[in-house]
Amino acid sequence: MATASAIPAAEVSAYADEKIKKAAAELWPGAAVHLGQHTPSVTAYVRRLTVNGRLQYAKVSLLGLSLVSVLRGTVGDWAQVRAAQAAYQGSPGALLEREARGLAIVQEAGARACQVAGCHGGVLFTEPVAGPTLADLLAKEPHQAGELMTRAVVELAGLQRPAIARAVDEAAIIERGIGSTFDRKFNGISGPTYLRKAGQAGEALATVALRLRRLRPTPAAGHRPVVYGDLKPDHVVFPDGADGRPVFLDPGLGRGRSQTDPAKLISRTVLHLIASSPDLVTADATTAGIEEFADALTADLRPDERAQWLRHLVVLWLMDTTNILSTYLTCPPDLPLPEHAGKITAQAEAVCGLLENATAGLVAGTDPRAVWRLVLADVVKAANR
């Protein structure tokens, strides 16, 4: 069971609200600014607001770290955090500045992204995007899962253009990478202490993390493609419905393996599926779509290349799931979780079982194609517990 915050969440909320009001007043002098509903998140502080009656979202990031890490006191007490934040937000290249630039880069690459309304004083303001998310569509139309997931990745193909790649290198967000997040959480020094805060699931996650440290692929030699970096089903919105083009939110642009974006998209899709406690037809259709998605991305590979590609995909998928499940399980009780996150923690045993089985198979040297089929079968079982 997660322990109480070292830093009270209410203090962070009050601080962030003041930052939002101050930044809005300086960006839009004389405008009527009204703060609205807080949007639960474990990464940044997000709040709705209206500026002269126009809805926006405001985001505050503390030191480029997750809110859970800050509240647990990993970077000091509240006075230390505030002092460090004052220096951080005034430094060039702070996280939210790079995120704002990332949204512009996505548009320059030919994809659609939410509009930045302003970025000032350590606060990023964005325009809302109305419409169902990819997560909504997958829940409603699981038989379209493969097509929709493939379209989301293909839509971002323009990120590989040389000029776009150079722009990404100047504004990369390495903090959100699957591997960098995993390394911060599960290093050999603080990792065991961290996992003790995860309650009954901590022991299983420790075993999984140890295996994943052995399985983690070495950095790819030569060219590394640009990756969106934070491709989640709730970061892809379809304003015109399933037949229209998607709009992307919250990029984490950088360089990585070609499996990075598919891995995070699969990881979060599976967690949403398990959290929803679907019927067997929905679970089967979704996992069949995930398999179709991987088939589309590997259609041009030789059998041995596909096997290696799938191995890297599964390892990155499991690393991301381990990252986010441990974050949810160690979240202090006074920080509100998104609704689906609370449901995932209630299914932690099932998720840990999936992670343990898949990592055991990979460590044993089982053919990656067999592990891929087995882990998809385990997804169906976990979703129907």
Per-residue pLDDT at 95 exceeds 90: yes
Q: E strand or H helix at 27, and its extent? A: helix 9-27
Per-residue pLDDT at 2 exceeds 70: no
Per-residue pLDDT at 28 exceeds 80: yes
- Dihedral over Cα of 333, 338, 342, 345: its sign: negative
Please classify residue 375 by burial: count the beta carbons closer than 10 Å to its beta carbon, then call 0-12 exposed, 13-18 middle and 19+ buried.
Answer: buried
Q: pLDDT tens digits, residue range 137-178?
A: 999 999 999 999 999 999 999 999 999 999 999 999 988 899
- What lies within 8 Å, CB to CB, of 220 at 6+ separation is 257
Please, which pLDDT band fits residue 223 given cuts at 50, 70 and 90?
Answer: confident
What is the percent of the chain with per-residue pLDDT over 90, rounded to a whole number?
Answer: 86
* Mean of pLDDT values over 64-84: 92
Please name the residue that has the structure tokens 């979240």: 331
Predicted local distance difference test score (pLDDT) of residue 335: 92
Per-residue pLDDT at 214 exceeds 60: yes
Predicted local distance difference test score (pLDDT) of residue 385: 78
